[in-house]
């Protein structure tokens, strides 16, 4: 019996694409695999995007109602869970928000005042006119949310997120802007005092030199 050894089939060398020839498209299974690999993250991303857009639209809608209607927000979102005390608090919070907006217009116009001392006086007056009322309303909101938790935790959480937290954040922003402008006014006043001192020193030197 004659045994013939079979030589292994040589591996085909990689084909170099001819210039100007379009690349060969992948096999259907490969395409299906790539599509499956890309589908999962795409679906997750679209879901997260939709959720983010929904939350953004909901926030914008709530903010517009806050500014315009007071207690209408509670009735619009929780018609069966509305609370008269919460509706009244929401109306007062919306009114306080409008007062903050008006005060910010005055505070931002302080820069046009050339005298730093007058700037400080205006800022102090604006803060004093609103600080007590804002602090009292925020404290009242904390007490209201605490009381709501005992009888309606869901409504309490909603009031905390939609009314109380926003009011507190807005007031914190007002305080931060007033403090920043107060620091600028104090720095400007110190520079004016230093400039006056230099002017007096220069005047004395000129009188002695004359």
Mean pLDDT calculated for residue range 142-149: 94
Q: pLDDT for 74-122, tens place per residue?
A: 555 554 556 889 999 999 999 999 999 999 999 999 888 888 889 999 9
Name which of 170, 184, 180 is nearest 101 in CA terms.
170
**Angle, CA of 123, 127 and 133, to the nearest 5°:** 165
Q: pLDDT for 10-68, tens place per residue?
A: 555 445 555 555 555 444 454 444 444 444 434 333 333 343 344 334 433 444 434 44
Q: What is the pLDDT of residue 44?
A: 36
Distance CA 101, CA 177 (A): 12
Q: What is the pLDDT of residue 111?
A: 85
Q: pLDDT for 156-190, tens place per residue?
A: 999 999 999 999 999 999 999 999 999 999 999 89
The answer to whether 71 touches 87, Cβ cutoff 8 Å, is yes
Distance CA 139, CA 160 (A): 12
The answer to whether 155 touches 78, Cβ cutoff 8 Å, is yes
Distance CA 108, CA 96 (A): 18
Distance CA 79, CA 163 (A): 16
The answer to whether 17 touches 25, Cβ cutoff 8 Å, is no
């Amino acid at each position: 019996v004659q045994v013939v050894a079979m030589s292994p089939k040589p591996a085909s060398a990689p084909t170099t694409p001819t210039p100007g020839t379009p690349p060969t498209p992948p096999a259907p299974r490969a395409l299906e695999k790539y599509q499956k690999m890309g589908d999962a993250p795409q679906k997750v991303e679209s879901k997260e995007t939709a959720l983010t857009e929904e939350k953004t639209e909901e926030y914008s809608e709530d903010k517009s109602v806050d500014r315009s209607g007071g207690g209408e927000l509670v009735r619009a979102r929780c018609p069966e869970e509305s609370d008269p005390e919460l509706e009244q608090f929401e109306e007062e919070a919306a009114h306080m928000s409008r007062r903050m907006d008006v005060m910010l217009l005055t505070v931002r116009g302080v820069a046009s005042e050339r005298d730093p001392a007058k700037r400080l006086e205006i800022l102090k007056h604006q803060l004093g006119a609103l600080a007590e009322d804002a602090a009292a309303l925020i404290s009242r909101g904390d007490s209201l949310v605490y009381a709501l938790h005992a009888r309606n935790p869901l409504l309490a959480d909603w009031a905390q997120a939609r009314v109380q937290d926003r009011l507190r954040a807005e007031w914190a922003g007002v305080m931060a802007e007033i403090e920043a402008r107060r620091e600028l006014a104090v720095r400007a006043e110190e520079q004016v005092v230093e400039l006056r001192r230099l002017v007096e020193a220069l005047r004395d030197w000129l009188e002695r030199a004359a």
